[in-house]
Amino acid sequence: MQRKFLTNLGLLLLLNLLIKPIWIFGIDLTVQRIVGVGDYGFYFVILNFSFLFNIILDLGITNYNNRNIAQHNHLLNKHFSGILVLKLLLGLTYVVIAFVVAMILRYNADQFRLLGWLAFNQFLLSFILYLRSNISGFMMFKTDSMLSVLDRLLMIFFCGVLLWGHVTTTPFRIEWFVYSQTTAYSITAAIAFLIVVKKAHFRKLNWSWPFFLMIIKQSMPFALLVLLMTFYNRLDPVMLERMLPEKTGNEQVGIYASGFRLLDAANMIAYLFGVLLIPIFSKMIKKRQPIEHMLKLSFTLIITLAIIVGFGLFFYSYELMDLLYDTHIQASTSVFRLLIPGFIAVSTTYIFGTLLTANGNLKQLNLIAALGLIINLILNYLLIPHLLASGSAVSSLVTQFAMAILQVMMVQRIFKFKVNYRYLLTLLVFLVGVIGFNVLSRLFSIHLNFLPADKAWLGNFALMLVSSVALAFILRLWSLGSLLKILREDR
């Protein structure tokens, strides 16, 4: 199982590292620059508002289904047609509730228009994730890896044509960005649907209220967990927009989005670990196989990467913001410095939280997530009026680390793993070493002739990365020999 995890993780990371940076820095960033902080902030608020009701689209069905199909493959034929009808009903319910809440909040016509398209996009995205949960549940990780980047690949093409194809004489509008997403999601959903239909031997839709109620009852603990996590992860920009005057609110949301973008990109790496580990952990637990080695392997890989990325981007935050943006650089830097260490916490939760999910410890996870939401709400309420976007960033950072620590403690309490103090000391040495490399790299100037003067810092940044990776190998946190042994023997 370790071999399956490593080989498919490698493919998944390769595809996403090829496609996602182009999307984030080539397309998404360009769109924000062209439409401006205000218009992008307007879009970002509605986007996060649409995320708040995502639980209605899914009710935890995707996570429940991923775990269930991984443990019982034969249930796909029995469940697929009924869940398909249920997803359509939930999609309709989601749209109605989102629009009712938007009316209560007195959204204007432009906000409603954008919300309609984004709500449809959320439905398509939820549908794709459900279809992919069946594919990964069958351990078809290569197919799932291709689907994980297909929507972004299509968006790059569509937005690229609109941005640089000279197909229109008017400036790029934020609505075109949303329409491109709709088209890409629709194509990806259609392809994923055909793959699952073939695997499920689908014949007709199955309308059965008893079946709907059974699935909802089984998936409700997953639904509550997704709801709580969505709120404490996505509430920050919504509270910024609601608690501040309109012009200031949209501007601060745009600044928060600027700082959040790199964290969101980094979090996708951690998310890929979770995508693979849910079915793997679930199957191992079902077969009563020992999971300690898989847990240590996956956590070591992600935490060393998270420490390098988290502290590297922290120390070079101003240079990165200056490279990416033309305005509000100092404000975006302040927000980013507070957000990016949270990548270490998020990476931890994608390993330990995934194990708890696979083991069925939803009650404990929901209690932890509920505490996280309370912490996030209180800190946002107290800090936003005084610190604006930076206040939301502090709230996010504290919440993420609280969640990580509590999940690690819960895993230890349930599984009672033997504490490896030598391993923990090694991680501490690595952490101190990475911080030291960053400090030293800031003290000395490295002049590379092929770099212009304003980008000379890239040489220092590269030296820090190389030194940190070397330290990971020296401390044997990363070991080519061990990885090759797993790839050869774990069949």
Residue 491 confidence (pLDDT): 47
**What is the per-residue pLDDT across 332-377, written as a single tens digit (0 to 9) for each?**
889 999 999 999 999 999 999 989 988 888 889 999 999 999 999 9
In sign, the C-alpha dihedral spanning 390, 393, 397, 398 is positive
Residue 483 confidence (pLDDT): 61
Burial class (CB within 10 angstroms; exposed 0-12, middle 13-18, buried 19+) of 451: middle
Q: How far apart are CA 38 and CA 46, in angstroms?
A: 13
Residue 278 confidence (pLDDT): 81
∠485-354-418 over CA atoms, to 5°?
65
Could you tell me which of 224, 259, 331, 225 has the C-alpha nearest to residue 44?
259
Question: Could you tell me how many residues make up the chain?
Answer: 491
Angle, helices 209-243/389-415, rounded to nearest 10 degrees: 140
- pTM value? 0.76
Q: Are 145 and 77 in contact (CB under 8 A)?
A: no
Residue 487 confidence (pLDDT): 53
Q: What is the pLDDT along the chain (491 residues), one digit of tens a residue?
A: 666 666 667 777 787 778 877 887 788 878 888 887 677 778 878 887 887 787 788 777 887 777 777 776 666 777 777 788 888 898 999 999 999 998 988 888 888 888 999 999 999 998 998 888 888 777 777 888 888 889 889 999 998 888 888 788 788 888 888 999 999 999 999 999 988 888 777 666 777 778 788 878 878 887 788 778 877 777 787 788 788 877 777 788 888 888 887 888 888 888 878 877 888 888 888 888 888 888 888 899 899 999 999 999 999 998 888 887 777 788 888 999 999 999 999 999 999 998 998 888 888 999 999 999 999 999 989 998 888 888 999 999 999 999 999 999 999 999 888 888 999 999 999 999 999 999 998 887 766 666 666 677 888 888 899 999 999 999 988 877 666 655 555 44
- Cα 22 from chain centroid (whole Å): 17
* Residue 219: CB atoms within 10 Å: 23
Count CA within 13 A, CB hemisphere, residue 229. Answer: 19
Question: Coil, strand or helix: which one is 461?
Answer: helix
Residue 319 confidence (pLDDT): 87
Q: How far apart are CA 282 and CA 285, in angstroms?
A: 5
